[in-house]
């Protein structure tokens, strides 16, 4: 009898052991950067330790391995690119601590990457979350730009994702980048949510999120206040959804600019919904260079609120600060503004400035109501070579039929 009981207990132990092991392999190992020698004081370069941790993490074959940047610690990183493809289809970067960039020009000596601070390339299924913070410490570079110092040209984007399909970013804080904060390039199936992106309104070119050459990107439930575009959607991007974003300060939510130096570029199927813009230099904007070619089409701005925004609605199809002539212009068509309301800081609340050759066609204003931020002051719309329909628009848009 004792033998039977012993065998049964041993069998149960083996079942438990195997189950735990299988569960461990399914959920994946945790790779803590501290275990690779990363200093958590924020004073010593932790880049080599992060690279070693990434190497083991990326080669882990478990279903969901986790690279841990622990809470309560600060890590100093210089320019670094984390490359894939990784063995796992669901690599998880748990970002609970703080990562900071060097805050002086001298600290970057010997670093030849002048484009990006932290890059990820060809990492499929990457998930980054955890409530942590990326701090670009860009103040010295902003000052250099304002002083026309050559160091301005060496500014880096904070986070750059290249060819990272099925990317997931959520619950993160991004502050004070030298240049743009998050860049999405050549990615498909991207989800960005619950992000907070902050920089002073006088910080130059500190875009919140830049998208280029990417498809099926969803941005939602985030707060972005910077010195440039909250979101910029650039060439060869399609099926971009922006929902529940609060923007300001900054330059608003922009498509473009497109067609610089005569380039051919396209953007289509962009849908911006339930967003609020406060104190921004522009509201919702489409900007293309004169002389470019291509198209912008099938764009919807719906349930948009402005509070004291300059240029709440603007299409600038003739942007040409350099006087370059050439191509036929980028065609703009099928643009809908629906349930758009709020207050304008400018006398001209709606600007449709379209070129004679390309023009803007099928522009629809459906329940648009914008008033002046200054009580009692009148506002107006300005339009040139735009065609379409105004179902209900205040101020009246004279070039659109009612």
**Which residues form the catalytic set?**
251
Q: Phi and psi of 59, rounded to 5°?
A: -90, -5
Q: How far apart are CA 249 and CA 307, in angstroms?
A: 11
Q: How far apart are CA 355 and CA 258, in angstroms?
A: 14
Helices (H), 61-156: 139-146
H helices, E strands: number in the chain: 3, 28
**For 217-234, b where at least 16 C-beta lie within 10 A, e where not — what string?**
bebbebbbbbbbbbbbbb
CA angle 233, 235, 237 (to 5 degrees): 65
User: Among candidates 222, 184, 225, 192, which has minimal Cα distance to 207?
Assistant: 225
Find tokens 């994702």 and name the residue: 161
Q: How far apart are CA 244 and CA 194, in angstroms?
A: 10
CB 156 within 8 A of CB 116: yes
- The token pair at 95 is 């970002």
CA atoms within 13 A on the CB side of 104: 3
Find tokens 């980048």 and name the residue: 177
- The token pair at 136 is 């670009």
CA-based radius of gyration for the chain: 25
Q: Phi and psi of 73, rounded to 5°?
A: -120, 150
- The token pair at 294 is 């291509």
DSSP 134: E
**DSSP result, 135-196:** E---HHHHHHHHTT-GGGGG--EEEEEES-TTEEEEEEEEE--SS-SEEEES-EEEEEEEEE
């Amino acid at each position: 009898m004792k033998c039977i009981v012993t065998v049964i207990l041993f069998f149960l132990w083996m079942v438990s052991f195997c189950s735990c092991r299988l569960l461990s392999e399914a959920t994946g190992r945790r790779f803590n950067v501290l275990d690779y020698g990363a200093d958590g004081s924020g004073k010593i370069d932790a880049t080599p330790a992060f690279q070693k941790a990434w190497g083991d993490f990326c080669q882990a074959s478990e279903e969901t391995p986790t690279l841990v940047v622990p809470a309560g610690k600060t890590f100093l990183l210089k320019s670094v690119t984390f490359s894939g493809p990784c063995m796992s289809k669901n690599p998880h970067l748990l970002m609970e601590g703080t990562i900071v960039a060097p805050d002086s020009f001298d600290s970057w000596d010997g670093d030849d990457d002048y484009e990006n601070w932290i890059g990820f390339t060809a990492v499929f299924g990457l998930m980054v979350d955890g409530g942590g913070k990326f701090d670009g410490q860009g103040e010295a570079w902003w000052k250099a730009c304002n002083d026309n110092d050559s160091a301005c040209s060496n500014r880096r984007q904070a986070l750059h994702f290249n060819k990272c399909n099925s990317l997931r970013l959520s619950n993160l804080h991004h502050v004070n980048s030298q240049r743009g904060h998050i860049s999405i390039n050549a990615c498909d199936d991207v989800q960005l949510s619950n992000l907070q992106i902050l920089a002073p309104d006088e910080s130059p070119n500190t875009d919140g999120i830049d998208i280029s050459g990417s498809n099926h990107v969803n941005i939602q439930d985030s707060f972005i206040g910077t010195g440039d575009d909250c979101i910029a959607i650039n060439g060869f991007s399609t099926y971009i959804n922006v929902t529940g974003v609060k923007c300001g300060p900054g330059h608003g939510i922009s498509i473009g600019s497109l067609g610089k130096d005569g380039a051919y570029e396209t953007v289509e199927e962009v849908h911006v919904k339930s967003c609020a813009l406060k104190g921004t230099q522009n509201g919702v904007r489409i900007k293309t260079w004169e002389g470019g070619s291509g198209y912008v089409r099938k764009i919807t701005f719906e349930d948009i609120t402005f509070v004291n925004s300059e240029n709440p609605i603007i299409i600038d199809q003739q942007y040409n600060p350099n006087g370059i002539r050439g191509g036929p212009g980028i065609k703009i068509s099928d643009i809908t503004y629906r349930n758009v309301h709020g207050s304008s800081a400018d006398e001209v609340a709606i600007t449709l400035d379209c070129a004679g050759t390309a023009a803007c066609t099928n522009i629809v204003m459906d329940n648009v109501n914008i008033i002046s931020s200054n009580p009692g002051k009148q506002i107006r719309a300005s339009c040139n070579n735009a065609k379409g329909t105004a179902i209900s628009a205040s101020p009246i848009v004279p070039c659109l039929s009612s």
